[in-house]
């Protein structure tokens, strides 16, 4: 509650997560987003959809597998390793947390005084997230990534894996992730990449029109991070995905 910009008088958390979206606050769902809000996709997301879809886009078998991806997130965000005897008590935001797969991986890198907050707009995804066992270092919020419900500069680290390409306005979401990050805080993104190939531009636009997904060009994310004051940029290109991140200020 201390992290929230406007804590509600009465916390609506009967579902196991804090619901901060009123009926009129929900972003209009694109076709891709509608799938995320269905009941079927959240059920098969972690075991089927993510490993197949993400691994192909990352260039399986050459690209990093899911465990390597999670280790990269912990390392880029300066969290501990799961086997470390002492881990930092950091406050971390996981934007577009889906069923909490990345949230739980991040929580493996924080100490007992830390907290990882998973935020997602989809109630069906969050239902899956809260069904998984979680300790005191995880909490879930239903909210919109483009209007994060948190105070300025309260998080040590922000992660957004598999979310940016789904947002209506990814740059507004990036602005807000930056707003809630402390100076010196770290950001890690994993999102779709538009390969530098002939016809990739028009193909990306067509995919965007049909699905609502955005594919980001190689320099686009780097520039967006630089413009928002990130330094020590990190960028890792894969066939159809990219990791990008940096340190704020």
Nearest approach, Cβ of 99 to ligand SAM (angstroms)? 7
Give me the least distance between CB of 227 and ligand SAM, in Å please: 21
Smallest separation (angstroms) from ligand SAM to the CB of 192:
10
Give CA–CA dist 69/49, Å, rounded.
16
- DSSP character string of 160-171: EES-GGGSSSHH
Residue 122 or residue 247: which is nearer to ligand SAM going by CB? Answer: 122
Instruction: Tell me the two tokens of residue 241.
Output: 């995905």
Q: Toward ligand SAM, which CB reaches closer, 53 or 111? A: 53
Identify the bridge partners of residue 230 per DSSP, sorted by sequence position: 248
* Cβ distance to ligand SAM smaller for residue 162 or 246: 162
Cis omega (within 30 of 0) on the bond before 112?
A: no
Nearer to ligand SAM, 145 or 225 (CB): 145
Pairwise CA distance, residues 201 & 217, whole Å: 9
Cβ partners under 8 Å of residue 25, min gap 6: 144, 147
CB of 179 to ligand SAM, least distance (A): 15
Residues near ligand SAM, by CB under 6 A: 27, 33, 36, 50, 96-98, 101-102, 120-122, 125, 144-146, 161-163, 166-167
CB 101 to ligand SAM: min, Å? 5
CA–CA gap between residue 187 and residue 182 (Å, rounded):
10
Residue whose CB is less far from ligand SAM, 125 or 154: 125
């Amino acid at each position: 509650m201390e992290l929230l910009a406007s804590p509600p008088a009465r916390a609506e958390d009967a579902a196991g997560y804090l619901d901060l979206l009123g009926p009129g606050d929900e972003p209009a769902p694109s076709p891709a987003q509608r799938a995320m809000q269905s009941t079927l996709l959240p059920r098969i997301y972690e075991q089927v959809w993510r490993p197949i879809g993400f691994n192909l886009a990352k260039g399986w078998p050459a690209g990093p597998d899911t465990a390597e991806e999670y280790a990269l997130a912990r390392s880029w965000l300066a969290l501990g390793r799961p086997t470390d005897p002492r881990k930092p008590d950091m406050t971390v935001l996981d934007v577009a947390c889906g069923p909490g797969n990345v949230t739980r991986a991040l929580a493996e890198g924080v100490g007992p005084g830390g907290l990882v907050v998973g935020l997602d707009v989809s109630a069906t995804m969050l239902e899956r997230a809260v069904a998984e066992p979680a300790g005191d270092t995880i909490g879930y919020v239903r909210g919109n990534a483009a209007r994060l419900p948190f105070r300025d500069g309260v998080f040590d680290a922000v992660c957004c894996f598999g979310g940016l390409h789904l947002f209506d306005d990814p740059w507004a979401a990036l602005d807000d992730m930056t707003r809630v990050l402390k100076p010196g805080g770290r950001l890690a993104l994993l999102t779709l990449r538009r390969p530098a190939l002939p016809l990739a531009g028009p193909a990306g636009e067509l995919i965007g029109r049909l699905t609502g997904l955005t594919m980001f060009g190689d320099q686009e994310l780097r520039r967006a991070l630089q413009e928002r004051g990130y330094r020590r940029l990190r960028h890792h290109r894969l066939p159809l995905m990219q990791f990008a991140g940096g340190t704020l200020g």
